[in-house]
Amino acid sequence: MFFQMITGSGFLKTSGLVAALAMALLGALTEPVRAEEETIDFTEMSLSELMEVDVVYGASKYYQKAQDAPAVISTIDATEIEAFGYRTLKEVLDSMRGFYTTYDRNYQYLGVRGFGRPGDYNSRILILVDGNRTNENIYDSSLIGSGTPIDLDLVERIEVIRGPSSSIYGTSAIFGIINVVTKHGHQIDGVEAEVEVGSFGTKEGRLSLGAASDSGMEWLLSGTIGRRDGQDLYFAEFDDPATNNGIFADGDQVDWQSLLGKVSYKGFHLETVMQWYDKKVPTAPWGTVFNNNITETMDNQGYVSASYEGSVSDRVDLLAKVSYNFYDYEGSWIYDYADVGDPPDLVTSMDDSHGKWLNTEVQLSRQWRENLKVSGGVELRENFQQDQAVWDADPFWSYLDDERDSSNWGAYLQGNWMLHQKLTLDVGVRHDEYPTFGGTTNPRVALVTRPAQGSVVKFLYGSAFRAPNLYELYYHDNGASTKANLALFPETIETFEVAWDQQIGEDLHTVVSVFSNQISDLIDQAEDPADALLQYTNSGQVNAQGFEMEVNGRHEGGWRHRLSYSYQYSDYEDGSGILTNSPRHLAKFNLMAPLQSADFRAGLEMQYSSRRLTYMGDYADGFLLTNLTLTKDFVRAGVKIQGGVRNLFDEDYGHPGGVEHAQNVLWQDGRSFRLSVAIGR
């Protein structure tokens, strides 16, 4: 209510920013700026050293302490990823405050701060691997489930950067950025191999090779392959003898592969990431035939990136990057075209998408004296291919055959100015140009104060945009169920946030934040009453307010704990109600504990989500999940054995279905097990 009053009146938008800038100016005039006693060169530090001082890269495209960054940030390192047995990016993000996921047994969808829209293929969160954009150029999607581009055994840390970041990254960074930072060759230092087995016929294997030379060259090459055989699934909505009494036999199969290769020498980096994901779809979406294992989706994606990052003079740094990217999608959907009462007439309907694009970026950073850092850059995307097609295979009938290419560019400028020992102002702005709708400019302002020892308070304002993607603009099936909308324009967000970060002694760290998000011209899928066809439209404005709190602890002997709570409320400004798939309350608890010694440890986590409104107007009940992982290192033998149980107490729970489903609630897996053995560590 408080945020609705101050944002509605414009107070926080105008007076608040003016007051903040006045405070900054007053501080600069009343006390001279003094340089820090010791200047840290983050570029000369190893990844492990960067983690020790809690340094992040993704917030500003250069290294800085997380407490100084113009955003609210969480990081999770390789130690925690291993201790809790995380195998996918989805599992990591489920443990982070304010985040939640939805699984429809095809893809995993990410929600944050009460916002997780049906039909959104993770296009409102920008997901990076080593700073390289993974959101593709058709749907702006990125896989976070079994199709996660990187095997998490190869991850050094994950930076979770909350809030709008279009002022640096352009489109997709509506709610934040996930930057996955991978390991280097010296951290493998030889050969690693790992095999895993688990419930539902899960099998996975990984082989990694890496090394570093005295000359400074490092290289790493790793491949992972996995399969899940699936299971019998029951859906009450299809409980009829004609549809196998609601049982989808031996469904839910998934295959995945990933490849990471990287070489670095001094400031030069060459990296490739490839990912393949093949999923059988057991839910019979879009009216497809139930209990038919031919319905499936296949996603292949990857990039090759070359970059240089280094100093061109004592105070000027250069980042230059070019990457070639590809994305291929193919869906096979089985329909019965027979009239009621006639024998089945099964037809395979195909849809596919193919994208190829080149990203280039140049950034220069200049340190002006000891208290001012300025950086600016230009980014260009050249889309060579953006093709979509829909057709029936036999007999052949084409519904859509759309071939396009395009280009867009953005230019940004940001400055970090230490006005005072206890006051820093960070300002950034970016302008983007698109052929479909023209230009958009998005700023970011952060006032970072240090009122007491170990205490940081951040006042944050930012705006961001998401350009309508090719799927939303041009996809249709010639009047069967969906239609295009060439008149779409970007959705935008304005965010206000106040965050208090407090270090308590050497062991405890707390964060409390209050936020207000205003989303305008929301791009959402809805049925047109004129013809009953689904179409993406700019549907209106959504307001979201909430607060988050978290307590982290790291203690002697390897003990770690993390406890968080999030309250979030999202509704339409026109009074039409709250958002679907938006839990009001989220609570998370993680505990990493040594058992007997540091070589034998346990990872326990508990995750609570309150109920979520479904699109049918009912609720998917709230739930509490508990996961347990045990890890044993045989250091001398170079062997690690890990066993884990997910959903330890076999909780019955479900996620809201989408408009394409007959199911109001999609039930999730019960208790499952996994066991892995790794050698070479």
3-class SS of residue 638: coil
Task: Say whether pLDDT at 48 is over 80.
Answer: no
Q: What angle do CA 344, 346, 352 make, to 5 degrees?
A: 160
Query: What is the dihedral sign for C-alpha 265, 266, 270, 274?
Result: positive
CB 470 within 8 A of CB 128: no
The pair of three-digit structure tokens given for residue 636, joined into one six-digit string: 């001398």
Residue 52 pLDDT > 70: no
The predicted-structure confidence for 526-581, as pLDDT tens digits, reads as follows: 888 888 888 999 988 999 999 999 999 999 888 999 999 999 999 998 888 899 99
pLDDT tens digits for range 310-333 = 998 888 999 999 999 999 999 999
User: Alpha helix (H) ranges present in 65-119?
Assistant: 78-83, 89-94
Those residues whose C-beta lies under 8 Å from the C-beta of residue 407, and which sit 6 or more positions away, are 380, 381, 382, 383, 435
- Range name among 74-88, 339-353, 600-614 with the lowest pLDDT average: 339-353
- 55 in Cβ contact with 42 (< 8 Å): yes
Strand-by-strand arrangement of the 176-182 sheet:
72-77, 155-162, 176-182, 126-129, 132-133
Counting Cβ atoms within 10 Å, is residue 593 exposed (0-12), middle (13-18) or buried (19+)? middle
d(CA 346, CA 525): 28
In this structure, are residues 424 and 416 in contact, taking their beta carbons and an 8 Å threshold?
yes
Query: String of b and e for 462-486 (b: at least 16 CB within 10 Å)?
Result: bbbbbbbbbbbbbbbbeeeebbbbe
Instruction: Place 304 in a pLDDT band, splitting at 50, 70 and 90.
Output: very high
Q: Check if the beta carbon of residue 61 is closer than 8 Å to that of residue 167.
A: no
Q: Which of 576, 571, 581 is nearest to 664 (CA)?
A: 581
* Structure token digits, residue 572: 């339409």
Residue 26 has pLDDT above 80, yes or no: no
| Higher pLDDT, residue 420 or 5 | 420
- For β-strands 176-182 and 126-129, DSSP reports them as parallel
- Kindly tell me if the per-residue pLDDT of 256 is higher than 50: yes
pLDDT band at 372 (very low <50, low <70, confident <90, very high): very high
- What's the pTM value of the predicted model, to 2 decimals? 0.91
Question: Between residues 615 and 357, which one has the greater pLDDT?
Answer: 357
The neighbouring-strand residues paired with 324 are: 304, 358
**CB under 8 Å to 166, separation ≥6 — which residues?**
173, 174, 430, 432, 442, 462, 463, 464, 465
Query: pLDDT by residue (tens digit) across 381-397?
Result: 999 999 999 999 989 99
| Average pLDDT of span 244-252 | 93
Q: Which residue has the tokens 């749907």?
A: 139
- Burial classification of residue 88, based on how many CB atoms lie within 10 Å of its CB (0-12 exposed, 13-18 middle, 19 or more buried): buried
Averaged pLDDT, 22-37:
38
- Cα dihedral sign for 229, 297, 282, 106? positive
> In the predicted model, is pLDDT for residue 481 greater than 90?
no
The strand pair at 508-520 and 542-554 is best described as: antiparallel
Range 108-135 average pLDDT: 92
* Domains (range + CATH), the chain: 18-679 (2.40.170.20)
Which among 317, 315, 293, 442 has a CA at the least distance from the CA of 369?
315
Joined together, the tokens standing for residue 210 give 């890496």
Measured distance between the N- and C-terminal CA atoms of the chain, rounded to whole angstroms? 53
Cα 477 to its chain centre, rounded Å, is 29
pLDDT score of 43: 47
Q: How many CB atoms lie within 10 A of CB 416?
A: 24
Contact of 394 with 371, CB cutoff 8 Å: no
Each residue's pLDDT tens digit, 646-661 = 999 999 999 999 989 9
Sign of the Cα torsion 145, 150, 151, 156 reads negative
pLDDT digits over 143-189, tens only? 999 989 999 999 999 999 999 999 999 999 999 999 999 999 999 99
Is 70 exceeded by the pLDDT of residue 7? Answer: no
pLDDT band at residue 17 using 50, 70 and 90 as cut-offs: very low
For residue 278, what are the contacts with CB-CB under 8 A and spacing of at least 6?
254, 255, 256, 296, 297, 298
| Mean of all residue pLDDT scores within the chain | 90
- Contacts for 579 with CB less than 8 Å, ≥ 6 apart: 114, 115, 117, 542, 570, 571, 572, 613
Q: Provide the 10 A C-beta neighbour count for residue 371.
A: 18
Q: Is 662 left (phi over 0), alpha (psi -120 to 50) or beta?
A: alpha
How far is 499 from 510, CA to CA, in rounded Å?
10
Name the residue among 179, 181, 183 with its Cα closest to residue 218: 183
Residue 14: is its pLDDT beyond 50?
no
Nearest Cα residue to 271 out of 378, 191, 182, 359: 182
Q: How many Cβ atoms from other residues are within 10 Å of residue 337's Cβ? A: 11
**From its phi and psi, is residue 114 left (phi > 0), alpha (psi between -120 and 50) or beta?**
left
